[in-house]
Structure 1
Amino acid sequence: MKKFTLCLKISLVSAFCVFLYAFSDPETLEQYAGYLQKSFTDHYDSSQENGQVKRYELNVTNNGFCRYKRYFNNGKTEYFAFKLAKFKDMDYYGTTNAGKLYIHTKGDDVIVQTYKDRGGDVDSMATQIIIPVKNMEAEDLNQIRDNLEKICAQPQPVKAQEQ
């Protein structure tokens, strides 16, 4: 009888846990991307560009891409983009006041395009993207890393094979 009671207790506890999980609100890709967008926007440091950059665009999309575009005063444009699921590691060089955030990908996963450059338009691939940031505390960096890792841990859609 004790064995039956123990099995019943285990079953009830398991059923209760499943019940609670069913009503939990797991975070979605959109929530992680929204946090990253807000962090990058709040902490971006345009003063590190030494007046060479006229304007910039830094966007994290809801479908899991990071796009960073810089427009220089001389007309040159640099564009960087990568899929957040390709995140490998992150480094930060600087102080809490100002520094550079290096986001590394698993391979040559960062698309790099330059327009109106002296050497002509160039398309290439890179393994990292560098974002100038300011007022970055250790907990901010940990949150950014956690969100990037959670995006990587999410199941990726399987592409249908073409016939």
Structure 2
Amino acid sequence: MNKFTLSLRMSLFLSLSLILMAFTAHSLLDEQLVYIQKKLSEHHDNEHSGEQIKRYELNVTNNGFCRYKRYYLSGKIEYFSFNLVKFKDLDYYGTDKNGQLYLRTKGEDVIVQTYNDKKGGDVDSMATYMAIPLKNIEPQDLSDLLDRLVKTNAQLLAQK
């Protein structure tokens, strides 16, 4: 009887541990996604592109989608979106004052949509990267961002 009680206690403890670990993994993923959105938003550069951006929306959702939408003063709207499961690498071209961050995917996994463009009309296409203008970003921030994106990618792949 004593062995049975010990076995029951151990299996109960193991089950409880697994449940707690599952919640911890989910909160770590949420923490990574919040960090990525925060860094991209706080360093976003509205003034960098040739046309003036009226406003932008930059979201990293809890299911792993990175969405970037720019609204120009001319009425043109650009929308980019990809799932972080498809993330491959990032490149940054510029200085610590301003530059372009390229989030690269494994293939043509970035959805690109353009609306109200007087020159080219409405366009739907796919791309291999998403470019985000950044300002005042340090090399350490870029390194941390890359680490978080890689960890997020691995966590999202493990969930599938």
TM exceeds 0.5? Answer: yes
Deviation at 1:51, TM superposition (A): 5.0
TM-score, normalising length from structure 1? 0.78
Number of equivalent positions: 139
Distance 2:102 2:150 in 1: 15
The answer to whether the 8 A contact 1:33-1:60 is kept is: yes
Match of 1:48, SS? coil
Distance 1:69 1:132 in 2: 12
Distance 2:73 2:88 in 1: 33
Q: Which residue of 2 aligns with 1:59?
A: 59
How does 1:94-105 map onto structure 2 within 5 Å?
Answer: 94-105=94-105
Distance 1:156 1:126 in 2: 25
Per-residue displacement from partner, 1:74-133 (whole Å, max 9, x unpaired)?
A: 111100000011110110111111111011000000000011113221110000011011
Q: Which residue of 2 aligns with 1:80?
A: 80
Higher helix proportion (structure 1 or 2): 2
Report whether the alignment pairs 1:149 with 2:142: no
Deviation at 1:52, TM superposition (A): 2.0
Instruction: Name the aligned partner's letter for residue 78 of structure 1.
Output: E
Match of 2:70, SS? strand
Distance 1:81 1:35 in 2: 18
The answer to whether the 8 A contact 1:29-1:63 is kept is: no
Report whether the alignment pairs 1:92 with 2:92: yes
Structure 2 residue runs without a partner (length 5+): 1-13
Distance 2:82 2:100 in 1: 18
Distance 1:48 1:141 in 2: 18
Alpha carbon RMSD of aligned pairs, Å? 2.0
TM-score, normalising length from structure 2? 0.79
Match of 1:49, SS? coil
Match of 2:48, SS? helix
Distance 1:57 1:129 in 2: 14
Identity among equivalent pairs (%): 55
Instruction: Name the aligned partner's letter for residue 147 of structure 1.
Output: R
- Specify the structure having the higher radius of gyration (Cα): 1
Deviation at 1:44, TM superposition (A): 0.6
The answer to whether the 8 A contact 1:37-1:60 is kept is: yes
Moved over 6 A (4+): 21-24
Report whether the alignment pairs 1:33 with 2:33: yes
Structure 1 residue runs without a partner (length 5+): 1-17, 159-163
Deviation at 1:50, TM superposition (A): 4.0
